């Protein structure tokens, strides 16, 4: 029995693991590259195939097998929370939000989704106790860390990770947006956080904002893109990251005193404008050394007449080692 073009394509990819459009055109030989692309699009639209990479290097592979339908009742309110707060990113880079992603993660880790969903909710409740008006107060943590704190407030939008379930939705998005230098993913983070940032600016009468400069050299800098996409309606403070002969990313330092020294000697606030209330924005706060050092410089230069507020997309629950991978 003669195989259809579709069967030939799926059989070939099944055998090889993955294949490019060019490779499949050479394999099929009897049909044009345009016809092959048309077949690939059909298979992709039907979710038979998935693709990885970006043009001109795009590879096709078989989609993951469909997971069995979950039996048992799931509370509608719990389902709503999971749909809003859960994100699974597969080893191949697929983003699966909400219940669908949660079921796939449970299946891969051999857990019952309905029972695990209830345990997930209990864990969320444990960490949500630290939230007020959807913000986590990070000031008590750095008050215990530093002898002198120069911030009046410090907020996290979420913890970077939670016990058992790992990185939060924002934690996942932040990690992969930075590692893959993905502007689309940075845009999704902006959509998640912009309304909260605007509210903080309004509630605290912020008239100056400072974006903490990046410490790791990348072609696409997360903080710069974040600044451009947020387009906050307040004046931006001038700050520089000093280039040293050997660049030491602060995240690689395991001792608190080393992080403090790194911040003191590599970040310089250059602004001379006088503000009332200043907002410092960073991607992730572990020890809080950078935020506190920037606030110290602002105090010494008398740039703020009233408050200095720190805001991080994510923060650590206990130590700062968990933030080191960002």
- Note the pLDDT of residue 63: 81
Residue 96 tokens read as: 């699966």
pLDDT > 80? residue 19: yes
In angstroms, the CA 284 to CA 224 distance is 15
Higher-confidence position of 325 and 102: 102
3-state SS, residue 229:
helix
Mean pLDDT of 86-103: 88
CATH 3.30.2320 given to domain 131-323:
no
More confident residue, 189 or 243: 189
Locus of tokens 């692309």 = 37
Helices and strands in the chain, H and E counts: 12, 16
User: Structurally, what CATH architecture does the domain formed by 5-62 represent?
Assistant: Orthogonal Bundle (1.10)
Among the ranges 7-11, 150-154, 259-263, 287-291, which has the highest mean pLDDT value?
Answer: 150-154
Residue 106 makes CB contacts below 8 A (sequence gap 6+) with 112, 113, 116
Taking alpha carbons only, the member of 19, 7, 15, 112 closest to residue 70 is 112
Q: Is the pTM of this model over 0.75?
A: yes
User: Are 326 and 175 in contact, with CB atoms under 8 Å apart?
Assistant: yes
Q: Is the pLDDT of residue 68 over 80?
A: no
pLDDT in the model for residue 131: 92
pLDDT confidence band for 70 (50 / 70 / 90): low
Give the residue with greater pLDDT, 58 vs 273.
273
**Residue bearing tokens 């605290």:** 204
Both structure tokens of 159: 């913890």
Residue ranges of the chain that CATH labels 1.10.10.10: 5-62
What is the rounded average pLDDT of the residues 89-97?
A: 82
Question: Which pLDDT score, from 0 to 100, does residue 93 have?
Answer: 78
Check pLDDT > 70 for residue 189.
yes
Whether 149 has a pLDDT exceeding 80, the answer reads yes
Dist CA 51 CA 27 (whole Å): 18
Cα 250 to Cα 62: distance, rounded to the nearest angstrom: 41
Mean pLDDT across the chain: 89
Q: Which residues of 201-236 are buried (b: 16+ CB within 10 A; e: fewer)?
A: beebebbbbbbbbbbeeeeeebbebbbeebebeeee
Residue in the block written with tokens 């410490």 = 215
- Could you give the percent of the chain with pLDDT greater than 90? 59
**pLDDT tens digits, residue range 157-178?**
999 999 999 999 999 999 999 9
| CA-to-CA separations, 51 to 5, 8, 93, in angstroms, rounded | 18, 17, 10
Residue 264 confidence (pLDDT): 79
Nearest-5° Cα angle at 289, 284 to 292: 100
Check whether 138 has a pLDDT greater than 70. yes
> Taking 70 as the threshold, does the pLDDT of residue 102 lie above it?
yes
Q: Which of 324, 305, 310 is nearest to 212 (CA)?
A: 310
- Name the band, by pLDDT with cuts 50, 70 and 90, for residue 1: very low
**pLDDT confidence bin for 67, thresholds 50/70/90:** low
Which residues of the chain does CATH 3.40.50 include? 131-323
């Amino acid at each position: 029995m003669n195989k259809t073009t579709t069967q030939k394509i799926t059989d070939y990819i099944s055998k090889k693991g993955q294949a490019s459009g060019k490779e499949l055109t050479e394999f099929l030989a009897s049909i044009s590259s345009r016809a092959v692309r048309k077949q690939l699009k059909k298979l992709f639209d039907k979710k038979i195939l998935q693709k990885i990479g970006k043009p001109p290097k795009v590879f096709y592979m078989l989609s993951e097998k469909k997971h069995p339908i979950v039996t048992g009742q799931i509370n509608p309110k719990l389902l709503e929370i999971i749909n809003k707060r859960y994100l699974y990113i597969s080893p191949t880079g697929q983003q699966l939000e909400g219940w669908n992603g949660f079921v796939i993660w449970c299946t891969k880790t051999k857990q019952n989704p309905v029972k695990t969903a209830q345990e997930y909710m209990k864990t969320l409740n444990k960490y949500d106790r630290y939230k007020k008006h959807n913000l986590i107060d990070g000031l008590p943590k750095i008050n215990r860390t530093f002898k002198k704190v120069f911030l009046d407030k410090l907020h996290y939008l979420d913890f970077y990770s939670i016990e058992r379930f790992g990185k939060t939705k924002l934690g996942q998005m932040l990690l992969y947006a930075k590692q893959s230098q993905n502007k689309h993913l940075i845009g999704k983070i902006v959509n998640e956080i912009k309304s909260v940032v605007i509210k903080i600016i309004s509630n605290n009468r912020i008239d100056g904002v400072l974006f903490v400069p990046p410490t790791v050299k990348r072609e696409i800098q997360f903080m710069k893109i974040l600044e451009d996409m947020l387009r906050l309606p307040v004046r931006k403070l001038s700050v520089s990251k000093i280039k040293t002969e050997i660049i030491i990313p602060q995240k690689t330092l395991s001792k608190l005193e080393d992080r403090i020294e790194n911040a003191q000697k590599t970040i310089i606030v250059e602004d001379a404008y006088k503000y009332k209330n200043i907002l410092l924005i960073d991607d992730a706060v572990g020890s809080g050394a950078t935020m506190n050092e920037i606030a110290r410089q602002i105090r010494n230069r008398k740039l703020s007449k009233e408050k200095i507020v720190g805001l991080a997309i994510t923060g650590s629950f206990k130590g700062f080692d968990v933030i080191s991978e960002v």
